[in-house]
Structure 1
Amino acid sequence: MSEELLAAVGRYTARQAGESPFATAIEGFTILRSEREKRTSHMILKPALCVVVQGAKWTSFGERRFEYRAGQALVVSVEMPAFGRVTEASPTEPFLGLVMEFDLAIMREVLQGLETPPARGGRLGHGVFVTHFDGALADCVLRAVRLLDTPQAIGMLYPSIMREVCYWLLTGPQGGAVARMTLAGNHAHRVINAVHVLRARFAEPVRVEELAAIAQLSPSAFHRHFKSLTSMTPLQYQKQLRLLEARRLMVTNAANVESAAFEVGYESPSQFSREYTRMFGTPPRRDVAALRLAAA
């Protein structure tokens, strides 16, 4: 990993008040810091480049876990619920990382402009992979971090940095995977559209047959391709989105267990509590009380 990038991220986080993650003046660009190993966190990741600058962590999607450390990055191609944990951090060498959400319009333009586009192949593939992070790609991210010192220049200069990031990913060793997963056409693109529909309507009863029709696949084929992309079944994906949103409602909006359960689509508070405890390891009231205490 670039020593310059390590120093730049370290300086930025040292100036920040409050707790990580640190939102920045660049939309979709978040910087992370932790001086200790953390308990498992739960989040929804958008299509993004997730870089480890120092330390190590793992992120899991459904049944698949990805471990990555300094000099590596996680590439996420479709919005998905995830579990993550910092596994290597200390006060002297804190975990440092950043998340750069992709601008898919720019990604598409870069792909279309390539003289020799990467071969995407016929298989949908997985929606996540780990790649090495160095050279020109690391230089782009370093310039993005430095740009935070001149926020008035972000609107003019950051889009060109994003174009470079897209270029290096699409022309790198995993270029075919990036093109196939992030900007997939025809068959795969329809599956991703169905994922987006489920994401938008997670609180509603949505039938697999309806999603399969959007993807123009049989229900069995859609189920298989959905799980290949997200490492979850459609039901598991929807359930995790519901529980994450319910947790947010209880922590930030002071909703009670029953109202949060109904708002995200549960008809039975007892079923909600069972599934919440299974996912987060603690009953909802106890979990929310602990989260509020930690944030106080």
Structure 2
Amino acid sequence: MQALLDYTDRQSGESPYLTSIDRMVIMRSDQPKPPSHLIFQPSMCIVAQGAKWATFGTDSLEYRAGQALVIGVETPSTGRVVEASPGKPCLVLAFELDLAVMRSVAEELGRPPRMAGEAGRGVLVTDFQGALADCALRLVRLLDTPTAIPTLYPVVMREICYWLLAGPHGGDIARLTLANSPSQPVIRALHSLRERFRETVRIDDLAAIARLSVSAFHRQFKALTAMTPLQYQKQLRLLEARRLMITHAANVETAAYQVGYESPSQFSREYGRMFGIPPKRDAMAMQAAIAEERATATVAARRTPAPPR
């Protein structure tokens, strides 16, 4: 925890803080925060202090200090910091999981983890103590010696994969990440839906990709994501539309059509239900917040004294 505090104390700007390790960020919150919407890649979010919750479809998971959220499939989520204060900020270390490394480590295990017979939930909370906590500490310490990262980071990541597969949730981790697991046919269909989310996609076609009956596919997809395929697609569309309006200044109608909606009014209704605010107002508020954050960072940079020569 102290290593994360020290690191964030040295940073300028706002959390999340990018690091010199690719696809690893450190997040610090000095107070509880409202929900944020994002799309998770397969990753791990470790809470060193404080508490967060994340919602995936109908499932809500809380993870606290000493615990980690493990995400095994690409999926939309809503996250929120629920326990934080200036004297005891919420500190989170997050990094993507390399599934190729996970598979390589699994092949070297003398006894592979036992997997359930059907696709299960795509996210889980696990304790992050002992050897895993030591790995996380070494990752943070590596940031002080960037030249060592290319050599040592792959070693630490392999160790993390080993302890996850050898731990109490090893079967769940294996089911989500290994190529021969019962979840992989449904995950292949999920990837197809992800790539084609702007199109009108038939559930029959997705079930055919998974080589399952429609009813079995629907059941296993919902078990994996806590959403139906159509709910999953809708969230992808709305998140992409939000990105287009905020980062590319697309108007409501343009954003709606670009993500696959035929009716801007239907888009606005569904957007409001998901984000709690009409799309135009939401985009304007987010753009104003980003502009304010950039202005604050610029002022802070100007006030920082130049290093002595």
> Please, what TM-score do these two structures have when normalized by structure 2?
0.92
Alpha-carbon separation, structure 2, partners of 1:237 and 1:201: 12
Corresponding position of 1:244:
239
1:181 CA drift (Å)? 1.9
Match of 2:165 among 170, 192, 212: 170
Alpha-carbon separation, structure 1, partners of 2:190 and 2:11: 36
- Which range moved further: 152-161 or 71-80? 152-161
CA contact (8 A) 2:118 2:220 kept: no
1:31 CA drift (Å)? 0.8
- Which range moved further: 14-23 or 36-45? 14-23
Q: Percent identity?
A: 62
Corresponding position of 2:81:
86
Where structure 1 has 5 or more consecutive residues not aligned to the other structure, the ranges are 1-5
Cα distance per residue 1:126-154 (max 9 Å; x no partner):
11111111110011111111111222221
Cα distance per residue 1:16-61 (max 9 Å; x no partner):
1211111212122111111111011001111111111110010010
Alpha-carbon separation, structure 1, partners of 2:247 and 2:219: 36
In structure 2, what residue type is equivalent to 1:157? L
Match of 2:116 among 112, 121, 128: 121
Alpha-carbon separation, structure 1, partners of 2:256 and 2:145: 44
RMSD of aligned C-alpha atoms? 1.0
Alpha-carbon separation, structure 2, partners of 1:197 and 1:22: 32
Instruction: Count how many residue pairs are aligned between Structure 1 and Structure 2.
Output: 291
Match of 1:160 among 155, 158, 171: 155
Alpha-carbon separation, structure 2, partners of 1:180 and 1:187: 6
1:200 CA drift (Å)? 1.4
Alpha-carbon separation, structure 2, partners of 1:151 and 1:257: 44
1:123 CA drift (Å)? 2.6
In the alignment, is residue 275 of structure 1 matched against residue 270 of structure 2? yes
SS across alignment from 1:138:
helix
CA contact (8 A) 1:251 1:291 kept: yes
Match of 1:260 among 248, 255, 259: 255
Match of 2:214 among 211, 219, 232: 219
Corresponding position of 1:72:
67
Match of 1:50 among 45, 67, 75: 45
SS across alignment from 1:30:
strand
Alpha-carbon separation, structure 2, partners of 1:165 and 1:32: 20
CA contact (8 A) 2:51 2:81 kept: yes
Alpha-carbon separation, structure 1, partners of 2:174 and 2:149: 26
Cα distance per residue 1:101-141 (max 9 Å; x no partner):
10000000000110111111213211111111111001111
Corresponding position of 1:3:
none
CA contact (8 A) 1:181 1:188 kept: yes
In the alignment, is residue 13 of structure 1 matched against residue 2 of structure 2? no
In the alignment, is residue 139 of structure 1 matched against residue 157 of structure 2? no
Corresponding position of 1:37:
32
1:182 CA drift (Å)? 2.1
Cα distance per residue 1:143-179 (max 9 Å; x no partner):
1111112222212211111100000000001111111
CA contact (8 A) 1:32 1:98 kept: yes
Alpha-carbon separation, structure 1, partners of 2:281 and 2:56: 25
Corresponding position of 1:199:
194
Larger radius of gyration: 2
Alpha-carbon separation, structure 2, partners of 1:86 and 1:209: 39
Corresponding position of 2:55:
60
Q: 4+ runs of 1 displaced by more than 3 Å?
A: none
Alpha-carbon separation, structure 2, partners of 1:100 and 1:134: 17
SS across alignment from 1:137:
helix
SS across alignment from 2:92:
strand
Alpha-carbon separation, structure 2, partners of 1:107 and 1:229: 19
1:184 CA drift (Å)? 5.2
> Please, what TM-score do these two structures have when normalized by structure 1?
0.96
- Which range moved further: 271-280 or 9-18? 9-18
Alpha-carbon separation, structure 2, partners of 1:32 and 1:193: 31
CA contact (8 A) 1:187 1:215 kept: no
Cα distance per residue 1:192-232 (max 9 Å; x no partner):
11111111111111111111111000111101100000000
